[in-house]
Amino acid sequence: VEVMVDCCLYGLSKSLFLSINRSVSKVHDEWFADEEKVCKAVGFLEKPVVEYPNATELTCGICFEAYPRDKIHTAVCGHPFCDTCWGGYISTAINDGPGCLMLRCPDPSCSAAIGQDMIYKLASGEERGKYSRYFIRSYVEDNRKTKWCPAPGCDYAVDFVVGSGSFDVTCRCSYSFCWN
């Protein structure tokens, strides 16, 4: 549970860090100083920009085809895009590299963040796996308390227990190394 919370907070911190272009140590200060400003910079919206309360059919903002409401998805901003266009957009972003971790609404005038739930809902299995690997790699590499195990062929990440008094750590694969 703690790792899941850390990963969720990491996603928020990574967004904050990249969006406000500050050192990681100042991210929390920025958040508590002006939460609204930071939310806007990161792409978190309080309410949708576009709302369609009674529409049974919507027009995709990319292909401009009309679709029943259940074939259209929106991010928090409310800009409507069909499943096919979303799939292509997300697929292209994931295949372009780790920048997909900061994916935004496809509408050029919008900066709303696209959440992991949208990516996992509309990406293929292979793309979800690739996205997850980018996310985990980014989490480990940006976290000062976590490192990849240096053992050849090992894919584990090791958490350092601060205050343990020892820099000797042992990975789950049984490889021991000095943290420093």
Burial of 1 (0-12, 13-18, 19+ CB in 10 A): exposed
The structural domain count of the chain equals: 2
pLDDT value at residue 51? 66
Strand partners, 74: 80
Task: For residues 90 and 152, state if they share a domain.
Answer: no
Task: For residues 56 and 98, state if they share a domain.
Answer: yes
Q: 28 pLDDT band (50/70/90 cuts)? A: low
Task: For residues 69 and 111, state if they share a domain.
Answer: yes
Domain containing residue 166: 145-180
pLDDT value at residue 2? 39
Task: For residues 60 and 89, state if they share a domain.
Answer: yes
Strand partners, 112: none
CB 80 within 8 Å of CB 61: yes
CA distances from 33 to 9, 36, 37 (A): 18, 9, 9
Domain holding 100: CATH number? Answer: 3.30.40.10
pLDDT value at residue 131? 93
* pTM of the shown model: 0.67
pLDDT tops 60 at residue 170: yes
CB 6 within 8 Å of CB 13: no
Task: For residues 151 and 118, state if they share a domain.
Answer: no
Instruction: Of 32, 7, 28, give the one whose Cα is nearest residue 17.
Output: 28
pLDDT tops 90 at residue 33: no
pLDDT value at residue 111? 83
Segment 6-26 shows an average pLDDT of 46
Task: For residues 73 and 113, state if they share a domain.
Answer: yes
pLDDT value at residue 130? 94
Q: 16 pLDDT band (50/70/90 cuts)? A: very low
Q: Kindly provide the residue ranges of all beta strands, DSSP E only, lying in the chain, ordered along the sequence.
A: 57-59, 66-68, 72-74, 80-82, 146-148, 157-159, 168-170, 176-178
User: What is the C-alpha to C-alpha distance for residues 107 and 43, in angstroms, rounded to an integer?
Assistant: 13
The predicted-structure confidence for 38-77, as pLDDT tens digits, reads as follows: 666 655 656 555 666 677 899 999 999 999 988 998 888 8
Task: For residues 92 and 154, state if they share a domain.
Answer: no
> Looking at the domain assignment, is residue 150 inside a domain?
yes
Would you report the helix, strand and coil content of the chain in percent, each value rounded to 5? 45, 15, 40
> Looking at the domain assignment, is residue 179 inside a domain?
yes
